[in-house]
């Protein structure tokens, strides 16, 4: 995973994949990063740009003494308020710049061109969220469908097959849509060739008797051990045939 680094001051945030496959990971790490800098209020709507305080005004008179307008006439209290406002405004704009730069440095150029016209950093973040929440959901639906369709061929490499299943489960987890243990267990068992049915029935019966149902990882380990035993058995048979 590539890492975008703005400076030593900023937290590291993963580069957002344009496909949306790592949106959930990106979103959470981004929010954690800006929260660590005390800038979360720039993206969650809990903060706002400081407003200029009202200042005392005095009339503007023309040559005949007629009022033609007004102008600022700050007293000492007003001047203090203005000074505080300028400091707060500068801090707010700096926070906005940091958030915008953090986003810009962690998204693809094509995506930057789409969101760069948004106004505040919160507007930019909301635009990203609206786009990628839906995109991530669509990608996860397709990935879950492909996960459920995975099948290991008879005498196929069970180890390699399980590696594919684990990778797809981890990808779904990264998108916030990881299958439950029960669902993944059913997918694992359903993806095996018919020759494993007796073995599956045996381990399920054993688990039922002892009242300790296997997790998907435990099931894959037991099936992998059985696969290794079968591979060794086939090799031994070939060697015996060759010797004969």
* Residue 18 lies inside a defined structural domain of this protein: yes
Which CA distances in Å does 142 have to 12, 84, 146, 162, 176? 30, 54, 6, 19, 14
Domain stops at, among 72, 98, 132: 132
Task: Give the pLDDT score at 8.
Answer: 45
Residue 152 DSSP SS3: coil
128 with 107: CB under 8 angstroms? yes
* Residue 7 lies inside a defined structural domain of this protein: yes
Residue 168 DSSP SS3: helix
C-alpha span between 168 and 143 (Å, rounded) = 7
* Residue 174 lies inside a defined structural domain of this protein: yes
Structural domain of residue 169, as residue ranges?
150-243
Tokens 């635009």 map to which residue? 127
86 with 73: CB under 8 angstroms? no
Domain stops at, among 72, 106, 132: 132
Task: Give the pLDDT score at 142.
Answer: 86
C-alpha span between 151 and 188 (Å, rounded) = 9
Triad 96, 52, 101: Cα angle to 5°: 5
* Residue 138 lies inside a defined structural domain of this protein: no
Task: Give the pLDDT score at 79.
Answer: 87
* Residue 77 lies inside a defined structural domain of this protein: no
Task: Give the pLDDT score at 62.
Answer: 75
C-alpha span between 140 and 130 (Å, rounded) = 16
Tens-digit pLDDT string for the chain (244 aa): 444 444 444 567 888 888 777 888 888 889 998 998 899 999 988 888 999 888 887 777 777 778 777 777 778 888 898 899 999 999 999 999 999 999 998 888 888 888 888 889 999 999 888 888 777 778 888 888 999 999 999 889 999 999 999 988 888 887 777 889 999 999 999 999 999 999 999 988 888 777 778 899 999 999 999 999 988 877 666 655 555 5
Are 7 and 35 contained in the same domain?
Answer: yes
* Residue 72 lies inside a defined structural domain of this protein: no
Positive or negative CA dihedral for 170, 189, 186, 182?
A: negative
pTM of the shown model? 0.59
221-243 per-residue burial string, b: 16 or more CB within 10 A, e: under 16: ebbeebbeeeeeeeeeeeeeeee
The first and second tokens of residue 73, run together, are 């006439």
Are 7 and 128 contained in the same domain?
Answer: yes
Are 117 and 154 contained in the same domain?
Answer: no
Task: Give the pLDDT score at 58.
Answer: 76
Are 101 and 179 contained in the same domain?
Answer: no
47 with 29: CB under 8 angstroms? no
Task: Give the pLDDT score at 241.
Answer: 57
Are 96 and 177 contained in the same domain?
Answer: no
| Total domains in the fold of the chain | 2
């Amino acid at each position: 995973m590539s890492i975008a680094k703005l400076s030593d001051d900023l937290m590291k945030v993963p580069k957002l994949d344009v496909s949306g496959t790592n949106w959930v990971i990106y979103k959470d790490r981004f929010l954690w990063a800006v929260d660590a800098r005390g800038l979360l209020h720039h993206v969650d709507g809990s903060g706002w740009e400081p407003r200029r305080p009202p200042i005392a005004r005095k009339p503007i008179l023309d040559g005949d003494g007629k009022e033609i307008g007004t102008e600022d006439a700050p007293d000492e209290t007003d001047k203090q308020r203005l000074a505080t406002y300028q400091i707060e405004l500068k801090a707010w704009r700096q926070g906005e710049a940091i958030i915008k730069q953090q986003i810009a440095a962690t998204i693809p150029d094509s995506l930057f061109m789409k969101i760069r016209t948004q106004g505040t950093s919160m507007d930019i973040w909301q635009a990203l969220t609206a786009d990628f929440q839906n995109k991530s959901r669509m990608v996860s639906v397709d990935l879950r469908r492909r996960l459920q369709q995975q099948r290991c061929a008879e005498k196929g490499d069970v180890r390699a097959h399980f590696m594919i299943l684990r990778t797809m489960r981890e990808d779904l987890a990264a998108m916030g849509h990881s299958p439950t243990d029960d669902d993944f267990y059913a997918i694992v068992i359903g993806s095996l060739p018919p020759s494993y049915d007796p073995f599956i029935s045996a381990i399920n019966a054993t688990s039922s008797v002892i009242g300790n149902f296997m997790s998907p990882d435990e099931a894959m380990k037991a099936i992998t051990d059985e696969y290794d035993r079968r591979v060794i058995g086939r090799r031994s048979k070939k060697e015996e045939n060759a010797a004969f």
